[in-house]
């Protein structure tokens, strides 16, 4: 079970929490005040009031102990930077995902130790562009993906000896065979960069590569368990 702690704006926190798989994740919202904690708790999520500027309280929550992912979703970039610095000092291996309001703050967050940066304005701008220029595709995605609440994103590493070795990504057809969508591949030989399944060049899979897939938790689990068996042709 992955342990996730979410800090910051309660509305953004709820959007994030509602998309995690409750069967595979233990989630906690760390609120700044009782009002925000009660707001999120009313939606069925574990919440508690935490002073994110107190390392003792962060440690008591599990940062540096057993928290796997920490989300910094504060409105103020300075708060996200502060929390990132504190969390990174407590755990050098922690996965820290932070939002950024001012693009100039992105470098500060990365320097503070953030693993990934999310720019909500860039995402919104891209969505607006897609609605205007690709209305049919956007409609299909909204109907088949965004309105399905049982979708999850998972990273699946290809084990040695798997039937996936030496196969091309275009030949996988995960949507037909496993009810999954292949978002991209991380080639461990070339680094940790994600090569998107759409738009990037063809990729030959090897043991150690990581498939980033999206779909129902049950289908992801079944596919992961089948990697060492025979191909589902």
For tokens 């409105």, name the residue. Answer: 75
Tell me if 125 is assigned to some domain: yes
Work out the mean pLDDT of the chain and round it to a whole number: 81
Residues 128 and 164 in one domain: no
Work out how many domains the chain is built from and give that number: 3
Tell me if 57 is assigned to some domain: yes
Tell me if 231 is assigned to some domain: no
Domain of 29: which CATH number?
A: 3.40.50.720
3-state secondary structure of 145: helix
Cα→Cα distances 83→51, 55, 112, 159, Å = 10, 10, 9, 36
Tell me if 182 is assigned to some domain: yes
Tell me if 233 is assigned to some domain: no
Residues 10 and 77 in one domain: yes
What integer pLDDT is reported at residue 47 of this predicted model?
A: 96
Q: Look at residues 68, 96, 118 and tell me which one is the last residue of a structural domain.
A: 118
Residues 83 and 140 in one domain: no
Tell me if 232 is assigned to some domain: no
Residues 19 and 77 in one domain: yes
Stretch 112-122: mean pLDDT: 77
Tell me if 214 is assigned to some domain: yes
Residues 154 and 177 in one domain: yes
Count the helix, strand and coil residues of the chain and give each as a percent rounded to the nearest 5.
40, 25, 40
What integer pLDDT is reported at residue 140 of this predicted model?
A: 47
For tokens 């409750």, name the residue. Answer: 22
Q: Which domain holds residue 128?
A: 119-149
Residues 158 and 134 in one domain: no
Tens-place pLDDT, residues 11-70? 989 988 987 878 888 999 999 999 999 999 999 999 999 999 999 999 999 999 999 999
Tell me if 139 is assigned to some domain: yes
Q: Look at residues 95, 118, 141 and tell me which one is the last residue of a structural domain.
A: 118
Residues 210 and 133 in one domain: no
Q: Which two tokens mark 33?
A: 């005040």
Q: Which two tokens mark 67?
A: 């928290």
């Amino acid at each position: 079970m992955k342990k996730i702690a979410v800090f910051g704006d309660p509305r953004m926190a709820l959007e994030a929490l509602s998309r995690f798989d409750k069967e595979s994740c233990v989630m906690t919202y760390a609120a700044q005040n009782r009002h925000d904690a009660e707001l999120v708790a009313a939606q069925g999520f574990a919440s508690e009031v935490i002073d994110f500027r107190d390392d003792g309280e962060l440690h008591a929550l599990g940062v540096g102990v057993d928290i796997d992912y920490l989300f910094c979703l504060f409105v103020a970039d300075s708060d996200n930077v502060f929390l990132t610095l504190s969390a990174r000092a407590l755990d050098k291996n922690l996965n820290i995902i932070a939002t950024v309001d001012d693009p100039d703050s992105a470098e500060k967050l990365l320097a503070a130790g953030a693993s990934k940066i999310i720019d909500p304005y860039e995402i919104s701008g891209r969505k607006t562009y897609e609605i205007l220029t690709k209305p049919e595709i956007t409609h299909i995605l909204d109907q088949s993906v965004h309105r399905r609440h049982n979708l999850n994103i998972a990273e699946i590493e290809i084990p040695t000896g798997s039937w996936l070795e030496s196969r091309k990504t275009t030949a996988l057809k995960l949507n037909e065979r496993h009810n999954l969508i292949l978002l991209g591949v991380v080639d461990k030989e070339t680094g940790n960069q994600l090569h998107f399944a759409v738009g990037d060049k063809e990729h030959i899979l090897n043991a150690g590569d990581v498939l980033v897939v999206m779909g129902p938790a049950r289908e992801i689990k079944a596919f992961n368990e089948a990697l060492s068996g025979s191909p589902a042709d």
